[in-house]
Amino acid sequence: MSFDPDAPAAEGALFGLPFTPETARIQVQLVPWQATTSYRRGTRDGPAAMVTASLQVDLYDVEYGDFWQAGIALLPEDERIRAWDAEAEPDALRVIDSLGTDSDAAARVNVISERLNEVVYAAAVATLDAGKIPSLVGGDHSSPFGLIRAVAERFPGVGVLHIDAHADLRDAYEGFTWSHASIMLNTLRYIPDVSGVVQVGIRDVGSAEVALIRSESRLRTFFDADLAARLADGEPWNGLVDEIIAALPPRVYVSFDVDGMEPALCPTTGTPVPGGLDWRQVQRLLARLADAREIVGFDVNEIGPGEWDGNVAARLFYKLCGATLRSQRA
């Protein structure tokens, strides 16, 4: 039976699409992980909320057309991730309650987080070896480290476009080496094949992070307040986007924390912050990036368990698929 893209979506498949990982151009890892979430928990349920909401997304896209025909499919979920998340949770809560002083509990969480990194890395390597495009839906923002590592090893010199409310440059935040608040510091520290990180939307940041931003040559940060001021002075968003893109190398990995957008779009995310990018600004950024650079992998993280958050995340993820395929002229 032929697939009708305008028919109601069948449950169980991402966006209701009829592809398997073997027939899809884009393979998707789900990482239901929230061990290091430091404020409002629930991000372990974000990937499932996104998949459920994806069934309501119309497949034809006015910007990217019928790109779904290239194929998007979920990889089988690794059951160890949920088990590790449950194992880490009691120790993680002890660390958070102790304000990071329970070093023994933090060490146990760090060991489990390293296992997660290796599983995500191995799955991404397999995707790349198969000639597919790797992507990931988390989970707290520590989730994609292994994917970023795999993409950087395959495409040395790749740059990371990091959209977030937070700089994520904290050193072992609360004692968690692999904290969601440390993902970009860990990327710069442990993945030398990443040529640099370009951050957009940052508006909640510590003094040590600002010092690193000012001193680290591989780091360029577009603070939300600066972007807002320039928009208020009459600068066009397209011009600001072109400046952001100019800071990136020819190949780009996109790491998207949904709290980089205004909180009305994802109100149950783990650490919401007032301000941020609106929906149209995000879409212009992705579309212009797709026309100017090659996107070789991407993630969406910190999705809250709410129905509206899942809806927005599903549409954001779908747009990222379209932008990625356009960028590769696929």
Query: What domains are there in the chain, each with its CATH number?
Result: 14-327 (3.40.800.10)
* Predicted local confidence at residue 68, as pLDDT: 97
**Tokens in use for 125?**
């390597």
Res. 239 pLDDT band, cuts 50 70 90: very high
Q: What is the pLDDT of residue 9?
A: 82
12, pLDDT greater than 80 = no
User: Are residues 176 and 95 in contact, defined by beta-carbon separation less than 8 angstroms?
Assistant: yes
pLDDT score recorded for residue 330: 55
In one-letter notation, the amino acid at residue 134 is P
The two structure tokens encoding residue 256:
């998207």
Residue 1 above 60 pLDDT? Answer: no
Per the prediction, the chain carries an average pLDDT of 94
Burial grade of 290 (CB within 10 A; 0-12, 13-18, 19 or more): buried
**Cβ–Cβ under 8 Å, residues 270 and 40:** yes
Among 19, 117, 114, residue whose Cα is nearest residue 68? 19
Burial of 171 (0-12, 13-18, 19+ CB in 10 A): middle
DSSP 294: E
DSSP states of 24-48 as a string? -SEEEEEE---TT--SS--GGGHHH
Q: How confident is the model at residue 29 (pLDDT cuts 50, 70, 90)?
A: very high
**How far is Cα 240 from Cα 119, in angstroms, rounded to an integer?**
37
Q: What is the CA radius of gyration of the chain?
A: 19
Cβ atoms of 300 and 317 within 8 Å: the answer is yes
pTM: 0.95
Q: Which of 59, 138, 153 lies closest to 303, judged by CA?
A: 138
Summarised one tens digit per residue, pLDDT across range 122-160 is: 999 999 999 999 999 998 999 999 999 999 999 999 999
Q: The tokens of 243 are what? A: 């400046």
